[in-house]
Each structure stands twice: as structure tokens, then as C-alpha cells.
Amino acid sequence: MGTTGAGRRRPIHNRIAVLRAERGMSRAELAEAIEVNRQTIGALERGDHYPSLDLAFRICGVFGLPVEAVFSREEFTPMSERLYGAATPR
């Protein structure tokens, strides 16, 4: 019996590492701000751990962004691709 619908585990992608880098924030600083350990931030960034809704809201609060800007079921496209379109080979 295969899994479908709610039984299928779908990935949750995030921009945590990019957002931290933009703000010059270390894993330890983000961890302190949301009251988790530094290893949790690493696991989230690697996709080894998915946040609870509460944790997702705390992360988004630090960055001042809505959940959809930080987490997605689809992979995020690079900002350069979004701004300039797909790069063409020369």
C-alpha cells in the first residue's frame, strides 16, 4: 500500500542560511534569539530537521519576514535567476 496525500512526507525547504548570511548572523546568535541550541540551526539549514510551527514563527520573527519567505514546499530559486532570468551559456 503506497502513501498518498497526508501520508506522504514532503520536503520543507528554507532560506535560513542565506538570511543569516545577509544579516551577518552566526548560527549561535540565531539559536540564542529563538532559544534553541546551535546544532538545531545546522539541522534546519541542512534539511535534517523540520521546524514546528512555533519554531518557524520564531525564526520568521527574527528576520521580520512571513513564513512563506523563509519556508517553502518548493525549492527556492536563486535571487539572480529571479531578477535576471535563467543564465544562458556562452
pLDDT digits (tens, 9 = 90+) for 29-83: 999 999 999 999 999 999 999 999 999 999 999 999 999 999 999 988 776 676 7
CATH superfamily of 11-71: lambda repressor-like DNA-binding domains (1.10.260.40)
Domain borders along the chain are: 11-71
CA distances from 69 to 37, 57, 87, 89 (A): 23, 12, 23, 29
pTM here? Answer: 0.77
What is the pLDDT, as a whole number, of residue 1?
A: 43
Print burial letters for 11-23: b (CB count within 10 Å at least 16), e (below 16).
eeebbbeebbeee
